[in-house]
């Protein structure tokens, strides 16, 4: 039987590429834009699926792929995909939000604890020998006694809510529509910020959420408030955040994502009130492997093919290589 032709537009582990090659006829998208454009003009008409990570999929890209049926993405966010154009074509989209939700929500709670209890600076306090000299470390804040607003109560936001509920936090959320949950809903993010001690951002990046957290929202959160972002960097107006911190209009922030990552403004790096991590919300061996497996499995299910998880045997040496 002729294998379906898919386009590999993702940097994935080598064992994942081995699985894709075992199941499909794989065309690797060149990285240079001019080479990619010429490649798509020549081969795009045969492509029925895409293994995706960060490659931008816009209308012009889709126009070169008239037979495309499915996009399988190694990510939760789809801000690199023109969703409207994709849906208009009836193209199926699979992502990994259901897989990475647990570890990303764990990371969000970890960041919330780190920034409110000042764990990073407390660690440095011990390591630098200041404890015996300067005595007891300053007091932190308790998330168990905070009202926490979750911006975006999707799969990840709901997992965060579940964890914070166990901590005893009082919860509320903002989103485009009310969910059937027993958590207070706000249709205005500024009002949510005004009523909360902390905002945790989990919403997707879109035209509606770009710079959603601006100077007005940050000021509403106030000088005793905290911001945690494990969504996408551009959801926050980074310059507004820097200005608020400079004038002590925010207590602190924990950021796993940045507006122009991997570039991080020096003003954020220097500020000891911040906890900064390099976009590692889903960064565990277990989750990243499951995400890569899902890229293959979603394509296999769509085309009615057995994947390695359903009994197909492929080169085990390649398949076990990280």
Is residue 7 reached through a cis peptide bond, with omega within 30 degrees of 0 on the bond before it?
Answer: no
Neighbouring residues of 37: CB distance < 8 A, sequence distance ≥ 6: none
Neighbouring residues of 99: CB distance < 8 A, sequence distance ≥ 6: 287, 290, 291, 294
Q: Nearest 5°: phi and psi at 228?
A: -125, 125
Q: Crossing angle of helices 119-127/97-117, nearest 10°? A: 60
> Helix %, strand %, coil % for the chain, to 5?
45, 15, 40
Sign of CA dihedral 235, 238, 239, 240: positive
Q: Which residues are catalytic?
A: 232, 261, 279
How far is it, in rounded angstroms, from Cα 278 to Cα 153? 23
Q: Are the C-beta atoms of residues 212 and 184 closer than 8 Å to each other? A: no
The secondary structure of residue 32, as a DSSP letter, is S
Taking Cα atoms as reference points, which of 38, 66, 37, 50 lies closest to residue 5? 50
Beta strands in the chain (DSSP E): 5-9, 25-28, 49-52, 70-73, 92-94, 147-151, 170-174, 185-186, 198-201, 226-229, 252-255, 274-276
């Amino acid at each position: 039987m002729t294998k379906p032709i898919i386009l590999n537009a993702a940097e994935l582990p080598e064992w994942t590429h081995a699985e894709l090659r075992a199941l499909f006829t794989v065309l690797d998208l060149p990285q240079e834009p001019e080479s990619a454009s010429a490649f798509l003009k020549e081969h795009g008409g045969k492509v029925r699926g895409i293994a995706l990570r960060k490659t931008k999929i816009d209308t012009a890209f889709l126009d070169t792929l008239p037979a495309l049926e499915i996009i399988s993405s190694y990510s939760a966010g789809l801000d690199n995909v023109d969703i409207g154009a994709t849906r208009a074509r009836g193209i199926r989209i699979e992502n990994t939000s259901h897989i990475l939700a647990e570890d990303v929500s764990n990371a969000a709670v970890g960041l919330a604890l780190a920034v409110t209890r000042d764990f990073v600076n407390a660690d440095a306090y011990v390591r630098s020998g200041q404890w015996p000299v300067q005595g007891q470390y300053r007091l932190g804040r308790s998330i168990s006694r905070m009202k926490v607003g979750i911006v975006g109560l999707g799969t990840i936001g709901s997992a965060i809510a579940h964890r914070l509920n166990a901590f005893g936090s009082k919860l509320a959320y903002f989103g485009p529509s009310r969910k059937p949950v027993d958590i207070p809903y706000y249709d205005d993010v500024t009002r949510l910020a005004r009523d909360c001690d902390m905002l945790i951002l989990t919403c997707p990046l879109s035209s509606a959420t770009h710079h959603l957290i601006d100077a007005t929202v940050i000021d509403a959160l106030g000088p005793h408030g905290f911001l945690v972002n494990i969504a996408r960097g551009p959801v926050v107006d980074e310059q507004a955040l820097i200005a608020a911190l400079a004038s002590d209009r925010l207590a602190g922030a924990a950021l796993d994502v940045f507006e122009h990552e991997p570039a991080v403004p020096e003003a954020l790096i220097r500020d000891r009130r911040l906890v900064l991590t390099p976009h590692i919300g889903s960064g565990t061996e277990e989750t990243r492997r499951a995400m890569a497996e899902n890229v293959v499995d979603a394509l296999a299910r769509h085309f009615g093919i057995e994947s390695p998880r359903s009994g197909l045997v492929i080169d085990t040496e390649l398949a076990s290589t990280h």
